Amino acid sequence: MNASVKNILLIRTDRIGDVVLSLPMLPVLKRHFPSAKITIMVRRYTKELVERHPCVDDVMLWEADGERSLMQNVALLKQRNFDIAILPYPRFNLALMIFLAGIPLRVGTGYRWYSFLLNKKIYEHRKDAKRHEVEYNLHLLKALGIEESTRPQFDFTVTAEAQHAVEKILRKDKIIDAKFAVVHVGSGGSARDWPLENFARLADVIKSKLNMNVVLTGGKNEEALVGMVVSKMKTHPMNYVGKFSLMELGALFQRASVFVSNSTGPLHIASVVGTPVVAFYPPIIQCSPARWGPYTEKKKIFTADNIKCELCKGGACRSNICMNQISVEQVFAGVKDLLHDKF
């Protein structure tokens, strides 16, 4: 089959972390189909995460919500003559799109009501969090007869342009040669969040006790959130919310001594560029670090316990209250432990 496959489509139309954790699929596909052209379909805002990947030959932008109709997407796929389409993010409209486009091999889950639209299926429930998301993604390739035991590789390289853009800002703010911690306070609604007061206190402690600069980051829609943290701090951080593109965030994180955040996409960018990470997770199986944790050895993970939660009392997680169990003192000790060889 390998020699006859000329055109492969990987569809990843969800969020930052999902795209990053799918990157290890690309070198595996390239090794097994060395003569095939690999195209990845993503949303516009995640394009820069994949467009310069060494195993990506082309990027298609997913246009939905009225920008491009289903049949327009189908027509575009037909023009490309894909042999294989891989769907790690199962959605009816995506499965229908590749079915109507007549792509011969359509890979995805066998557990959705619309799975009849796919003809190469893997029967795994991701909601059980028995594997990491990286491993779930790679397991999808078993439907094509691909199994590898080598450690997943991300091949994520920060561009020179992004490095120069970040250097310019750091030089202007006089921290180009200084050690600094990145604190990313939002999660984009993808998880339960650690309290903003705790982020503020942690940032103050890092600044005062470790004599490190603290850089706050967040998306453009998180300016108010980050502003609340700044207002609660006694020290003065560098507020870089909304200032950088995703690739530039990678360049910033790469220079940081440590990265602290909730479970969110930028956490995975920090992880793959080699920065030690501290992350907070709720007591929800589908959101657990077993599935969504940073794929690195350089990490400290803090997970709330819903049995101890005064609201949940062992039942379903109902709010952010569980996250109050994670103390600033615990987290600061974790930060110091990760930094022990940097001071």
- pLDDT tens digits, 115-142: 999 999 999 999 899 999 999 999 999 9
* Model confidence at 319: pLDDT above 90: no
Architecture of the domain made up of 2-144: 3-Layer(aba) Sandwich (3.40)
Q: Which residue has the higher pLDDT, 89 or 64?
A: 89
pLDDT bin (cut points 50, 70, 90) of residue 342 is: low
Share of the chain above pLDDT 90, in %: 81
pLDDT bin (cut points 50, 70, 90) of residue 148 is: confident
Report pLDDT for 189: 73
Report pLDDT for 69: 87
* Mean predicted lDDT score pLDDT of the chain: 92
- pLDDT tens digits, 249-258: 999 999 999 9
Domain ranges of the chain: 2-144, 160-338
Does the pTM surpass 0.75? The reply is yes
pLDDT bin (cut points 50, 70, 90) of residue 63 is: confident
Question: Do residues 23 and 272 lie in contact, with contact meaning Cβ atoms separated by under 8 Å?
Answer: yes
The pLDDT of 308-335, averaged and rounded, is: 76
Report pLDDT for 1: 66
- pLDDT tens digits, 8-34: 999 999 999 999 999 999 999 999 999
pLDDT bin (cut points 50, 70, 90) of residue 192 is: confident
Report pLDDT for 305: 80
Same fold, 2-144 and 160-338: yes
* Model confidence at 300: pLDDT above 80: yes
Report pLDDT for 101: 98
Report pLDDT for 309: 55
pLDDT bin (cut points 50, 70, 90) of residue 110 is: very high
- pLDDT tens digits, 256-295: 999 999 999 999 999 999 999 999 998 888 889 999 999 9
CATH no. for 160-338: 3.40.50.2000
* Model confidence at 65: pLDDT above 60: no
Q: In what order do the strands lie in the sheet with 58-61?
A: 58-61, 37-42, 7-11, 84-86, 105-109, 120-122
- pLDDT tens digits, 221-259: 999 999 999 999 999 999 999 999 999 999 999 999 999
